[in-house]
């Protein structure tokens, strides 16, 4: 039976969700950054900061069908508690092995595989649970506050990680991550889910096979122009945007030898832009046409990446380079907020609740599909080619690709209007 969720209950849930995001992101990002630094210094490989960009999409692809089906057929709170519990056990095991086994890359890959599986379940389940936590009036508020809270922590996480790395060492950061994981599990335990009739196990779905269940969500995306367009463009763009994750750490630390702290300033600027963007979105009305907004903003991001290439190609001082990169990172982060959050709200408000698990799992997996290939390709590029030309060409390709898609989408809407 459906339960009406009051505004007060929705507000409480938003506070808990934001608190969980703050603690989880603070611990997770600090830990991930520390792992990247440790591997970068010990292996001197450009791909050290891109391991997650390879492993997470691969795991997402492997689990997209079973996880989507599972989430749409099972109660959501037990699934979240179970996946978070396994993640805690994995970090505890890693803490023990990292002091006894001299294989940092192997251990990091093993931990990332387990946490990627857990995060896939947790994130898909939370996406499908939004209408169990808040009423429709608070869906946009929940999305923007969660994004803002996460971005706020991501703003300080690189700086905090660089400081803690020198203060308590890598092993100390591992212990901080364990505490953070336990706290997020306790918050999830305290959250009240209001199961809806459409999110309980569906007998018709249960009678179907895994593929038949999954195909329903896949067909929903294929039959909705906005979702299909965003996924198609996202696969291509995420391949090119891998240049940011791989290139900046390598260029700043290994090529320009500017140190960990300066790298953390640039990465924090990205998060600062996302935070600012979500704070602005919280008071703005919804976009009238999400797809056109996403396309135009993506063209801005491509232009800024091309500018990064130009900056690396001209002879400037390290101080000017840092100021320029921090400013560009801030604007890119703000633009990304205007792309990601409205798209998330659009999906929550248009996709039927009983399909949110499958559609959300498929959507996020397809969007990240090209990241592993992009990470490997750009890892090779940045180790063998100058940084500037790589970024310049990447930015120009994005601008050209988006311009072609923008014309195609505008023609589609004109035909629709004529009909």
Query: Long-range contacts: 85-91, Cβ < 8 Å, 24+?
Result: 85/185, 86/114, 86/117, 86/118, 87/114, 87/115, 87/118, 87/119, 87/122, 87/181, 88/178, 88/181, 88/182, 88/185, 90/114, 90/115, 90/118, 91/115, 91/174, 91/177, 91/178, 91/181
Query: Residue 6 has what pLDDT?
Result: 75
Q: Please tell me the predicted confidence (pLDDT) of residue 182.
A: 92
Q: What is the structure's pLDDT at 204?
A: 45
- The pTM of the whole model exceeds 0.75: no
pLDDT digits (tens, 9 = 90+) for 316-331: 888 888 889 899 989 9
Q: What is the pLDDT of residue 31?
A: 81
Helix residue spans in 44-103 (DSSP H)? 51-73, 76-97
What's the pLDDT at 201? 43
Q: Write down the pLDDT at residue 200.
A: 42
**Please, what are the domains in the chain?**
7-193+210-418 (1.20.1250.20)
* pLDDT for residue 266: 81
Q: Which residues of the chain register pLDDT less than 50?
A: 1-2, 198-207
């Amino acid at each position: 039976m459906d339960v009406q969720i009051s505004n007060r209950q929705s507000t409480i849930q938003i506070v808990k969700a934001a608190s969980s995001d703050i603690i989880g992101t603070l611990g997770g990002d600090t830990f991930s950054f520390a792992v990247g630094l440790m591997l970068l210094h010990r292996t001197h490989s450009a791909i050290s900061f891109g391991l997650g960009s390879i492993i997470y999409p691969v795991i997402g692809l492997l689990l997209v069908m079973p996880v989507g089906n599972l989430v749409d057929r099972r109660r959501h709170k037990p699934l979240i508690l179970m996946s978070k519990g396994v993640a805690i056990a994995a970090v505890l095991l890693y803490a023990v092995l990292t002091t006894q086994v001299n294989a940092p890359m192997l251990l990091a890959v093993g931990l990332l595989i387990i946490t990627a599986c857990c995060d896939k379940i947790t994130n898909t389940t939370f996406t499908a649970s939004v209408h169990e936590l808040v009423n429709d009036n608070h869906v946009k508020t929940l999305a923007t506050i969660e994004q803002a809270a996460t971005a706020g922590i991501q703003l300080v996480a690189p700086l905090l990680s660089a400081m803690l790395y020198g203060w308590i060492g890598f092993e100390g950061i591992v212990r901080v991550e364990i505490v953070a994981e336990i706290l997020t599990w306790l918050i999830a335990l305290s959250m009240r889910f209001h199961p809806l009739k459409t999110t309980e196990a569906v007998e018709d779905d249960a009678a179907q096979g895994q593929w038949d269940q999954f195909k329903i969500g896949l067909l929903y995306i294929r039959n909705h122009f906005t979702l299909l367009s965003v996924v198609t463009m996202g696969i291509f763009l995420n391949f090119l945007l891998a240049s940011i994750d791989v290139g900046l750490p390598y260029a700043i630390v290994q090529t320009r030898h500017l140190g960990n702290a300066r790298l953390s300033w640039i990465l924090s600027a990205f998060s600062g832009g996302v935070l600012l963007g979500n704070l602005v979105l919280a008071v703005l009305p919804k976009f009238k046409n999400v797809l056109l907004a996403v396309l135009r903003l993506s063209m801005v991001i491509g232009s800024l990446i091309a500018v990064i290439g130009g900056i690396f190609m001209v002879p400037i001082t390290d101080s000017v380079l840092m100021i320029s990169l921090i400013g560009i990172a801030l604007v890119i982060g703000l633009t990304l907020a205007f792309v990601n959050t409205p798209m998330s709200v659009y999906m929550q408000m248009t996709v039927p609740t009983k399909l949110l698990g499958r559609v959300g799992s498929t959507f996020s997996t397809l969007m990240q599909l090209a990241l592993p290939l992009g990470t490997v390709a750009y890892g090779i590029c940045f180790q063998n080619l100058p940084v500037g030309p790589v970024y310049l060409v990447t930015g120009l390709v994005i601008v050209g690709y988006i311009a072609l898609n923008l014309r195609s989408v505008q023609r589609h809407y004109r035909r629709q209007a004529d009909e």
